[in-house]
């Protein structure tokens, strides 16, 4: 009687997942080095050391690959923020500072290529369906900061939405100028919060 193949399915699924994860990292690197428009599926396959057609086993199109890279970057940033907040104090300024530090630790650290795609690929550059997907992804991270800023004791008259956008813009811009070996990503995140805090606290 032939042996069942069901016992090998978990191993096959794990292998598929690992290879897919590696493909996301390599695709992110290609998008960042060449730009999304210039990086071809053939370029990504070459960097992955696979045949170009193999990518379509994982993703039906270049756009779907971009969405997956974007989602993974958001997932990693969000997980880092959530882990930091789980250990943070109840003080609203400390919580925001911890979240900003975690955001930059993810974006400028080991997850840099994946997270950079979130910063570099502005949704308005793409088709409406793709734009909506990218914006929905970004909202996962935005929601963390929207809640944290809502809890701050800002002085009367300060626009919380503009305050949040100013902070998010400063955090995102660090990707363009950050150099390893000077201040750590965590230190930068905390200092950026402090800069905005000085003139806006009650």
The string of pLDDT tens digits covering residues 71-116 is 999 999 999 999 999 999 999 999 999 999 999 999 998 888 888 8
- Residue 20 belongs to a domain with what CATH number? 1.10.357.10
Q: What domain range includes position 189?
A: 6-198
Please state the separation of Cα 200 from the chain's center in Å.
Answer: 28
Q: Is residue 73 part of a domain?
A: yes
State the burial class of residue 157 (Cβ atoms within 10 Å of its Cβ: 0-12, 13-18, 19+): exposed
Q: Is residue 21 part of a domain?
A: yes
Helix/strand/coil for 93: helix
Alpha helices in the chain (DSSP H): 9-34, 41-48, 55-58, 62-87, 92-107, 112-120, 128-150, 160-177, 185-198
Q: Is residue 164 part of a domain?
A: yes
Angstrom distance (rounded) from CA 170 to CA 149: 15
> Are 109 and 185 a contacting pair, CB within 8 Å?
yes
State the burial class of residue 141 (Cβ atoms within 10 Å of its Cβ: 0-12, 13-18, 19+): buried
Amino acid 8: pLDDT = 72
Number of domains in the chain: 1
Positions of the chain with pLDDT under 50: 1
In this structure, what are the phi and psi dihedrals at residue 201, rounded to the nearest 5 degrees?
A: -85, 150
Q: Is residue 158 part of a domain?
A: yes
Angstrom distance (rounded) from CA 63 to CA 37: 10
Q: Which two tokens stand for residue 26?
A: 């390599």
Q: Does pTM surpass 0.75? A: yes
Angstrom distance (rounded) from CA 154 to CA 166: 14
Q: Is residue 1 part of a domain?
A: no
CB atoms within 10 A of CB 166: 15
Amino acid 68: pLDDT = 94
Amino acid 180: pLDDT = 85
Q: Is residue 156 part of a domain?
A: yes
Q: Is residue 181 part of a domain?
A: yes
Angstrom distance (rounded) from CA 5 to CA 101: 47
Q: Is residue 154 part of a domain?
A: yes
Amino acid 124: pLDDT = 65
């Amino acid at each position: 009687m032939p042996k069942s193949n069901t016992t090998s399915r978990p191993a096959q699924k794990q292998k598929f997942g690992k290879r897919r994860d590696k493909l996301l990292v390599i695709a992110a690197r290609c998008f960042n080095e060449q730009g999304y428009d210039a990086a071809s599926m053939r370029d990504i396959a070459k960097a992955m050391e696979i045949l170009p057609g193999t990518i379509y086993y994982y993703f039906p199109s270049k756009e779907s690959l971009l969405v997956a890279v974007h989602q993974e970057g958001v997932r990693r940033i969000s997980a880092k923020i959530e882990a930091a907040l789980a250990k943070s104090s109840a003080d609203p300024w400390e919580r925001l500072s911890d979240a900003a530090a975690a955001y930059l630790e993810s974006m400028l650290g080991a997850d840099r290529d994946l997270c950079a795609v979130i910063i570099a690929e502005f949704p308005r550059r793409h088709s409406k369906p793709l734009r909506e997907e990218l914006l929905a992804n970004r909202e996962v991270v935005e929601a963390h900061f929207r809640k944290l800023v809502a809890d701050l004791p800002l002085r009367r008259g300060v626009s919380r939405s503009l305050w949040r956008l100013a902070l998010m813009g400063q955090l995102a811009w660090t990707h363009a100028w950050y150099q390893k070996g000077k201040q750590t990503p965590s230190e930068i995140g905390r200092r950026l919060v402090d800069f905005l805090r000085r003139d806006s606290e009650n």
